[in-house]
Structure 1
Amino acid sequence: MSDSNTTEFTNPSTFILLGIPGLEATHVWISIPFCTMYAIAILGNFTVLFIVKREPSLHEPMYYFLCMLAVTDLVLSTSTMPKILAIFWFNSREIEFSACLAQLYFIHCFSAIESGIFVAMAVDRYVAICHPLRHFTILTNRMVVKIGLAVVLRVSLLALPYPFLARRWPYCRTNIIPHTHCEHMYVVKLACSDTHISSYYGLFVVFCGIGLDVFFIAGSYIQILRAIFSLPTKDARLKTFGTCSSHLCVILAFYIPILFSSFTSRFGHNLPRHFHVFIGNMYLLVPPMLNPIIYGVRTKQIRDKTLQIFTHKGTKVFSWCS
């Protein structure tokens, strides 16, 4: 903790994470919903991975993308939540400089991977609804692997400058980060030199990375909606729209907080600081928790297989006890 009281230093060995500024006295109570959401995210995403791996009938493009999403959510939430809970429960606020940069990279990298997977899932829904007879000839297993690799490669290269830019700045003011984790703009703001390059690059990634993803998703769903409204019966339209509604809910739960957090951290100077921090945690907590719930409840195949497994196990336990 010695660095926190130092006014002149360069490249500190540690940063100090404050948690939620102004609400330190309620950290223990705030940790309850945070911990609950994290536990649901871990349990739910591992359940999705287990069900898809276990059932050969689910070895299809849609479920492969869902597994990619589950792995991404596990990494995204686990890269931040253990440290956040340590701050809330044990007041363990120190984080090494290199660990902070690694966390920063993982947050931005896997957030963008999740965005890319949403694009892939939107394309899958477009092909399945607009070209149903060609679905499995277009989205083969080999094509799914290529899409996954393309998403990871694109994002890894886009996120790579974040830690390198943050490392090159001299930090001579303070090493206290008023946040629960090492968010890019909060780290860069501690530097004592002109950091416009980092700010501009962050905006570039938002517009050219996430912005393009939103554009492609919107384009896919415009075509999907046109195909739905051209169906002959109301029941067919409702059934087809129902298969896309869960995806739309997940997309909104992810993009609204991440875009709001990105812009308020740069331009929302009049908003309370704890509000910034809460919004900055929402896209790390809410989508990983909601994704397995929404897809598990709304996707009949996953729901049925999950109930079948637990019902079968429950029957075996009851028979053994009898």
Structure 2
Amino acid sequence: MKKYAALLLFALFLNGCDDGDLTVDTIDFDDIAESQACDPTTNTLLYKLKPQEALLFQMPEGTIKNDPGDYIYTIDPKTQEYNVVYRAYDGAVAKENICGIIPPSTPKVTEEWIGTNGIIEISTTQNEEPNKTDDGTRITGYTHSIIFKNITFNKPSGPQIEPEFEFGIYKTKVDPANLTFKTNPNGSAYECDEVARVYNYNNTFYLSIDDIDPALLVNVVTPSDQPRTSLITATQNKVFYKTAKAETGSITPAFVCAKLQPSAPAIEETWTGQLGVANVSGIIEVTTALIGQQVYEHTIVLRNVVLQKGNSTFKLGSHFVLGKIDRAATN
């Protein structure tokens, strides 16, 4: 953020403002719907470019939130946290003029408008697509619609107030949830000895059911097409999808089953299964079969489970197999 603030000031000092051929009465970037970021990892400086014009929106890191909702910020000249700048140039402008550590000396700025007051409204929605292997969904990114309300631009001819000025949209990308379990030829799931948890996992994530309903895992064969079912509730069958932060370690059974969560790997995201609705969603289903004479095999399926983090949601699918738990027959 500080780097880009310095860049804006430096570019202004370097280029200066003088009389040029381009005369500007209104800012019009309507034909450029989508803005770009100098650094998509921080999203602190967004821009739109026309052949000889640039529109810039500078903000603190974290202003762009990957979570659906409406976010409101105030342009305050005292704090200078949010900066809206329009520039006209005497030649063709490129990304390097905005984002370069040392902006090129040409083209020169011929006119500059600076937003000094106003409200910033950012409306965020999630982008999702059908999952390739089932009827679930996966989040691929977010669309951020940005509007400035009652913004005052200080321009060479004096202040100008725009009741509503649409900056446009900015899109962020996220990696879709990875729910491919560790290679397991038997399709097994796992359960913890010291905590009430069944789960499946890979190096980068695990999907668990905490406090699973004991009535689901009884050593009695279920009749054909009559599985046992139970709903996700606040106290039973709590579903969690947790991902490991990159370069902090790998998910292991010891990590998943620890009574106190170890510090490594660090958990980056936690998604929680929405509470179940009878015959509709959030259903845990178990089918039990007898293998030989000594082992009962319990196949655990999540039906229409929706995972939520903040206001973001995605669906696992109507028939998502967690895996199989084997339990020995008891005399």
* TM score, norm. by length of structure 1: 0.20
Structure with the larger RCO, 1 or 2 (CA within 8 Å, 6+ apart)? 1
Larger Cα Rg: Structure 1 or Structure 2?
A: 2
Which protein has the bigger helix share? 1
* TM score, norm. by length of structure 2: 0.20
Which protein has the bigger strand share? 2
